[in-house]
Amino acid sequence: MLVTIRYPMLHGRIVLRADADWEHDIEPLEQTADRAVFELPLRANHVTFKPCLVRDGGFFWSKGANYGFNRHDPDAEVWPFFFAEERGRVSEVMRFERDGMSHAVRVYLPPGYDENTLRTYPVLYMQDGRNLFLPEEAFGGNEWQVDETMDRLDRMYTVRKVIVVGVAPIDRMRDYTRPGYEAYGRFLVDTVKPAIDRIFRTRTSPEETVVMGSSLGGVVSLYLAWHHPDVFGNAACLSSTFGYEDDLYDRIASEPRRAIRLYLDSGWPRDNFEATNAMRDLLVHRGYRLGTDLVQFSFPDGAHNEGSWAHRIHLPFQFFFGRAWAAARR
């Protein structure tokens, strides 16, 4: 099978080592300043390998876990890195002004972001930004462990690498409910997203842009995808308080269907279980297909708190960014 390695090779060259013989260099069929193409033998239905950089008399194995492809993999392309940390990093607080006040924003950048400058990334915008990355900022000291989960899924080679933008509200009740979420939505669309796209190497299309939140943050996330489908093509809504200070049931029932993908979940018995099921059934009635552009999970004894959400965020991450889901959509 053919594998493409993308890396800025100003000096040196790329070779591969694979499971057929980890001591043997596999040379590229062709190589330019930013890509190398290899043919790898398949011993069975899959191959495991690592890119290696030969430079200045040194031999450097790529960081992270081994890569693996199978004969039916539609996207045999990797962006390795050789010298950076194997963990992503979370930025210092960025400030975005609105109505004389400012939203605090932190950005997670995945492993290898600074080294392999050829790669661009899908973007996940998350509500309640103070609860995502750092326990000292989070409610009750319990954070969602977004960066740790993304790093772990990356080591598993289960998801594509992603930039995560955590946006803290100024007034949660105002920003995440009607009518305040209309101004908040315009702020994300007109101010935050253009700045993120300008500063970082993002993929800007709605198909590559996800918005996500829990409780009222889940409500505003669905609002954002429904009202701005040309910006946010995907929404994850965990434990969402649908029907409380929002008009989403009425809008989804009466307005044209949006070309968006949605993830819903809730715990049982007291985690907006009924409200989530009602939204699922409405979306199915409007033509969304479970397992295709709509996924829903119910968690026995799932609680309405950061710890419970931290345990299950890997599911929406895999739905929107998973390599297997990407293959299934092609």
Is 84 among the domain residues? no
- Domain coverage including residue 260: 89-328
pLDDT digits (tens, 9 = 90+) for 4-16: 999 998 889 999 9
pLDDT digits (tens, 9 = 90+) for 25-77: 999 999 999 999 999 887 778 889 999 999 989 999 999 999 988 877 756 89
Do residues 256 and 108 both lie within one domain? yes
pLDDT digits (tens, 9 = 90+) for 122-173: 999 999 999 999 999 998 899 999 999 999 999 999 999 999 999 999 999 9
User: Quick one: pLDDT at residue 86?
Assistant: 95
Q: How many CB atoms sit inside 10 A of residue 50's CB? A: 19
Identify which has the larger pLDDT, 260 or 328. 260
Number of compact structural domains in the chain:
2
In Å, what is the CA distance from 136 to each residue of 161, 217, 318? Answer: 26, 20, 27
Do residues 182 and 204 both lie within one domain? yes
Do residues 50 and 184 both lie within one domain? no
Do residues 55 and 171 both lie within one domain? no
Q: What is the mean pLDDT of the chain?
A: 94
Instruction: Report percent pLDDT > 70 for the chain.
Output: 97
3-state secondary structure the chain: CEEEEECCCCCCEEEEEECCEEEEEECCCEECCCEEEEECCCCCCEEEEEEEEEECCEEEECCCCCEEEECCCCCCEECCCCCCCCCCEECCCEEEEECCEEEEEEEEECCCCCCCCCCCECEEEECCHHHCCCCCCCHHHCCCCHHHHHHHHHHCCCECCCEEEEECCCCHHHHCCCCHHHHHHHHHHHHHHHHHHHHCCECCCHHHEEEEEECHHHHHHHHHHHHCCCCCCEEEEECCCCCCCCCHHHHHHHCCCCCCEEEEEEEECCECHHHHHHHHHHHHHCCCCECCCEEEEEEECCCCCHHHHHHHCHHHHHHHHEHHHHHHCC
Is 157 among the domain residues? yes
User: Quick one: pLDDT at residue 269?
Assistant: 94
Do residues 146 and 247 both lie within one domain? yes
Is 236 among the domain residues? yes
User: Quick one: pLDDT at residue 53?
Assistant: 96
Contact criterion met (CB below 8 Å) for 6 and 79? yes
End of a domain among 26, 49, 78? Answer: 78
pLDDT digits (tens, 9 = 90+) for 280-321: 999 999 999 999 999 999 999 999 999 999 999 999 999 999
pLDDT digits (tens, 9 = 90+) for 180-196: 999 999 999 999 999 99
CATH code at position 18: 2.60.40
Is 294 among the domain residues? yes
**How many angstroms separate the CA atoms of 330 and 318, rounded?**
16
Do residues 212 and 263 both lie within one domain? yes
Do residues 183 and 122 both lie within one domain? yes
pLDDT digits (tens, 9 = 90+) for 192-243: 999 999 999 999 999 999 999 999 999 999 999 999 999 999 999 999 999 9
End of a domain among 30, 45, 78? Answer: 78
Do residues 306 and 175 both lie within one domain? yes
CATH code at position 188: 3.40.50.1820
Do residues 309 and 251 both lie within one domain? yes
User: Quick one: pLDDT at residue 69?
Assistant: 86
The structure tokens listed for 87 are 């963990």
Is 10 among the domain residues? yes
Do residues 219 and 119 both lie within one domain? yes
Backbone angles phi, psi at 35, to 5 degrees: -155, 150
Do residues 144 and 29 both lie within one domain? no
Is 288 among the domain residues? yes
End of a domain among 23, 58, 78? Answer: 78
Residue 328 reports pLDDT greater than 60: no
Do residues 179 and 275 both lie within one domain? yes
Is 218 among the domain residues? yes
Is 255 among the domain residues? yes
